[in-house]
Structure 1
Amino acid sequence: MASAVRAVIFDIDGTLLDSVDLHAQAWVEAFAHFGIETEHAKVRSQIGKGGDQLLPVFVDRDRVKREGKAMEAYRSDLFKRNFLDKVRPFPGVRPLFERIRTEGQTIALASSGKADEVAHYKELLGVADLVSVTTTSDDAERSKPFPDIFASALAKLAPLNAWDSMVVGDTAYDVQAAAKAGLPTIGVLCGGVSETELRTAGCVAIASDPQDLCDRYGESLLAR
Structure 2
Amino acid sequence: MYDRYAGLIFDMDGTILDTEPTHQAAWQAVLSRYGMHIDMQSMTALNGSTTRRIAQLIIEANQADMDADQLTREKTALVKTMLLDTVRPLPLIDVVKSWHGRRPMAVGTGSESALVEALLSHLNLRRYFTAVVTADDVQHHKPAPDTFLLCARLMGVDARKCLVFEDADFGLEAARLAGMDAVDVRKQ
For the superposition of Structure 1 and Structure 2, which TM-score range results when normalised by the shorter chain?
0.7 to 0.9
Alignment partner, residue 167 of structure 1: 164
Kept in 2: contact 1:13–1:19 (CA 8 A) = yes
Kept in 2: contact 1:6–1:106 (CA 8 A) = yes
The 5-angstrom pairing of residues 22-171 of structure 1 reads: 22-60=22-60, 67-91=67-91, 93=93, 95-102=94-101, 104-158=102-156, 160-171=157-168
The 5-angstrom pairing of residues 198-217 of structure 1 reads: 207=188
AA aligned to 2:165 is V
Could you list the runs of 5+ residues in structure 1 that have no partner in the other structure?
Answer: 190-194, 196-206, 208-224
Kept in 2: contact 1:17–1:88 (CA 8 A) = yes
Distance 1:176 1:64 in 2: 30
Residue 187 of structure 2 corresponds to residue 187 of structure 1: no
Kept in 2: contact 1:21–1:44 (CA 8 A) = no
Coordinate RMSD, CA, aligned: 2.4
Alignment partner, residue 17 of structure 1: 17
- CA, structure 1 residues 162+51, in 2 after alignment: closer, same or farther (shift >3 Å)? same
Among the aligned pairs, what percent are the same residue? 22
SS in structure 2 at match of 1:88:
coil
Kept in 1: contact 2:7–2:161 (CA 8 A) = yes
Give the TM-score normalised by the residue count of structure 1.
0.73
Give the TM-score normalised by the residue count of structure 2.
0.86
Distance 2:67 2:126 in 1: 35
What per-residue deviation string (whole Å, max 9, x for no partner) do you get for residues 27-82 of structure 1? 22222223312223322332221123323432229x79960100100100111233
Q: How many residues align?
A: 185
Could you list the runs of 5+ residues in structure 2 that have no partner in the other structure?
Answer: none
Kept in 1: contact 2:11–2:167 (CA 8 A) = yes
